Amino acid sequence: MNCSDLLVLKDEALTKISDETFCAKFVDDAAYGEIFFSKGPCYTIIPLELEMAGVTPSRILDKEPASKKNVSKYFLCDGQVVKIESYNSQGLLDEFEFFRSFEGVLFSLRKNKHNEILWLKIAELKEGKVLRACRVDGDMEYWAYRYNWEGDRVKEVVSLASNGVAGTVIKTRYDVDSTVSRLFFLSDGKEVDIYSHI
């Protein structure tokens, strides 16, 4: 399968994560409206990223938790997430993620408490749906994806990763309530599960 478009996106992400001027644009300057919390991650600009990592997205909590252990705090402006604060297992603020849009492309940059870059994510959108996305980590590992949508659901994802086989097609299955129930790919004619939520 041709992955040339994903290679271009990956190269762009590698260039941008190394560009200090670009990364300096991710600062805490947004005016926040709504704030919500989750016990663990529940939001990313890359569709199905959590599930592809084997993680079930966390539920949004009804109120601010008394303990911040392993909590994520989301800041919204005009209904869009603009910042995430992540707390560690001791309940201490450990990581920050900032979101910016440049020329119709959505970016997020995550740093730790020492101001070291953990990752940069890029999501290219068309009519509100992510067509391609990429994550590059501070150690230059990468994951790039092309999405095939069917209505409001991702039907399949083509992946290109530094630790995987280029052009792997990941298929999706959904529960009745449109929650992702399964992600898998085919290997030698057999289905190999990446994620299964029962």
CA dist 9 to 57, 113, 161, 173, Å?
Answer: 26, 28, 12, 27
Least Cα distance to 11 among 115, 155, 122 occurs for 122
What backbone torsions phi and psi does residue 71 show, to the nearest 5 degrees? -100, 145
Q: Tokens at residue 27, please?
A: 């600062």
What per-residue confidence (pLDDT) applies to 118? 97
44-72 b/e with 16+ CB inside 10 Å = b?
A: bbbbbbbbbeeeebbeeeeeebeebebbb
Residue 35, domain extent: 4-196
Q: Under a CB-based contact definition with an 8 Å cutoff, are residues 133 and 124 in contact?
A: yes
Q: What is the pLDDT along the chain (198 residues), one digit of tens a residue?
A: 789 999 999 999 999 999 999 999 998 877 788 999 999 999 999 999 999 999 999 999 999 999 999 999 999 998 899 999 999 999 999 999 999 998 889 999 999 999 999 999 999 999 989 999 999 999 999 999 999 999 999 999 999 999 999 999 999 999 988 899 999 999 999 999 999 986
Give the separation between CA 99 and CA 26, rounded to whole angstroms: 7
Tell me how far apart the alpha carbons of residues 120 and 13 are, in angstroms, rounded to a whole number: 7
What's the total number of domains in the chain? Answer: 1
Residue 40 near residue 78 (C-beta atoms within 8 A) = no
Q: Output the CA angle 137-94-145, nearest 5 degrees.
A: 25
Supply the pTM of this predicted model: 0.93
Terminal CA-CA length for the chain: 31
Give pLDDT, residue 121: 98
Computed from CA positions of residues 93, 133, 162, 14, in that sequence, does the dihedral angle turn out positive or negative? negative
Q: Which of left, alpha, beta for 140 (phi over 0: left; psi -120 to 50: alpha)?
A: left
* 105 token code pair: 């492309």
Query: CB under 8 Å to 126, separation ≥6 — which residues?
Result: none
CA angle 137, 141, 142 (to 5 degrees): 85
CATH number of domain containing 177 = 2.40.160
